[in-house]
Amino acid sequence: MKKLVLALPSKGRLEELSREAFAKAGMQVKRDGGARSYAGSLQGFENVNVQFLPAGEIARGLIRGTIDIGVTGEDLIHEAVENGIKKVELAAKLGFGKANVVIAIPDAWVDVVYIRDLADVASDFREKHGRWLKIATKYIQLTRAFLAEHGIAQYKIVQSVGATEAAPSSGAADLIVDITSTGSTLKANGLRIIDDGVILKSEANLIISKASKLSNEQQVDLGKIISAVRASL
């Protein structure tokens, strides 16, 4: 019989806190082969297959339906594919891994406080500089949707693979959209969050795939896991 696939983050604080959350809900997660192994098991659930995977991989698996239930950040679901959020169900906010996806500008832009200021800057930019205002980000879908909502169309996204916060000083972009938990990395790079520039308040969630097909037995296991986690919060 096919086992229910439960995916948890494979390393760092996220892994620890995910396992703690399950333990608090009365379900011990075992990583049988130690930190190098990607397979595990869930005590009391013989037919659940636990997989330890990078958080971004968990988001994609949930959307595709190759993972039935998992712990990952909401931001990663949004970013995996356009409308990814419609393909999963957020079952429980877990209270850790909190971070915001924000728009940050050079702190020296003293005239820009709100998004409406950025709209003016974007409108004027091409005329003044002969190119579009450039925004560096990994969060392409979220950025486009947020700016469209605010009527801002005069910009270009520069896809960033890492160290987005360095883009303004390296000249790769004029401003950034990035994830931050304390804001200290942004500050260290001379950047400031626009006052109403929080695009998404994200945290680790227990997330169910809408794309996976489950047998009745699997549905029962899934229901038990969700109820136990919710009851423990």
**Judged by CB under 8 A, which of 1, 36, 128, 184 binds other proteins?**
128
Q: How far is the CB of 109 from other proteins (least distance, A)?
A: 6
Q: Which of the stretches 2-10, 41-49, 106-114, 216-224 binds other proteins when contact is defined by CB under 8 A?
A: 106-114
Q: Is there binding between residue 157 and other proteins (CB under 8 A)?
A: yes
129 is a site residue for other proteins (CB under 8 A) = yes
Q: Is 161 in the site for other proteins (CB under 8 A)?
A: no
Q: Give min distance, CB of 36 to other proteins, in A.
A: 34
Q: Among residues 16 and 120, whose Cβ is nearest to other proteins? A: 120
Please report whether residue 146 would count as binding other proteins according to CB under 8 A.
Answer: no
Select from 202, 214, 233, 213 the least CA-distant residue to 72: 202
- Give min distance, CB of 21 to other proteins, in A: 34
- Show contacts with other proteins in window 58-97 (CB under 8 A): 82-83
Instruction: By CB under 8 A, tell whether 49 contacts other proteins.
Output: no
The string of DSSP letters for the chain reads -PPEEEEEE-SHHHHHHHHHHHHHTT--EE-TT-TT--EEEETTEEEEEEEEE-HHHHHHHHHHTSSSEEEEEHHHHHHHSTTGGGGEEEEEE-S-S-EEEEEEEETT-TT--SHHHHHHHHHHHHHHHSS-EEEEES-HHHHHHHHHHTT--SEEEEE-SS-GGGHHHHTS-SEEEEEESSSHHHHHTTEEEEEEEEEEEE-EEEEEESS----HHHHHHHHHHHHHHHHH-
Residue 64, helix vs strand vs coil: helix
Of 20 and 82, nearer to other proteins (C-beta) is 82
Instruction: Please choose, out of 46-54, 116-124, 201-209, 218-226, the segment that lies near other proteins by the rule CB under 8 A.
Output: 116-124
Helix (H, G, I), strand (E, B) or coil at 122: helix
Number of residues this chain uses to bind other proteins (CB under 8 A): 38
- Of the residues 8, 144, 197, 206, which one makes contact with other proteins according to CB under 8 A: 144
Chain residues binding other proteins by CB under 8 A are 82-83, 106-111, 113, 116-117, 119-121, 123-125, 127-129, 132, 144, 147-148, 150-157, 168-169, 171, 174, 189-190
